[in-house]
Amino acid sequence: MNAVGGLALILGVLGIFLPLLPTTPFLLLASACFIRSNERFHYWIHHHPHLGPIIDNWNQHKAVSSTMKKRGYVLLAASFLFSLVMLPHWWMKLGLVMGYSVLFFFFHRLPIHDPHGDVAENGENH
């Protein structure tokens, strides 16, 4: 379970930067693996300042933060445009557009929930 949890954690962190790799499902898998095999890693991932809130937000509200969603939109668009330029054939580009459309549809449907404790009254993050 440690190996699967470690791999899921690595893929989850990479998913923050790579738009086609989902972050939240891999972090949830890592958490589930670590709860059974390594209490120290389980505690660490849930109390990590960047990863913990993602897991908690999904576990409590089945949602992502607006910041994560905005970042996802930007990275999706950037990777799509890069891939569109790099593909040599029109039929590959058509397949990419169809795949992007499906991915965008499901990503857009993810609910947003911004935890109230992370935002000050004036709107600045702590």
> pLDDT digit string (tens) for 18-35?
767 788 888 999 999 999
Q: Are residues 53 and 9 in the same domain?
A: yes
Max Cα distance, the chain (Å): 51
* % residues pLDDT > 90 (the chain): 54
Distance CA 94, CA 101 (A): 11
Q: Are residues 6 and 57 in the same domain?
A: yes
Residue 84 lies in a domain: yes
Number of folded domains that form the chain:
2
pLDDT level of residue 125 (50, 70, 90 thresholds): very low
Residue 104 lies in a domain: yes
Q: For 88-117, how does the pLDDT look when each residue is reduced to its tens digit (9 = 90+)?
A: 999 999 999 999 999 899 989 999 999 875
Q: Are residues 7 and 51 in the same domain?
A: yes
Residue 121 lies in a domain: no
The average confidence (pLDDT) of the chain is 86
Range of the domain at 108: 66-116
Which of 42, 61, 80 is a domain's end point? 61
Residue 79 lies in a domain: yes
Q: Are residues 50 and 78 in the same domain?
A: no
Q: Are residues 53 and 72 in the same domain?
A: no
Residue 28 lies in a domain: yes
Distance CA 3, CA 30 (A): 10
Q: Are residues 11 and 39 in the same domain?
A: yes
- Whether residue 86 is predicted with pLDDT greater than 90 in this model: the reply is yes
Residue 13 lies in a domain: yes
Which of 43, 61, 79 is a domain's end point? 61
Distance CA 108, CA 92 (A): 24
Chain centroid to CA 69: 8
pLDDT level of residue 49 (50, 70, 90 thresholds): very high
Cα separation values, 27 from 6, 32, 49, 76, 102, Å: 10, 9, 14, 19, 23
Distance CA 23, CA 25 (A): 6
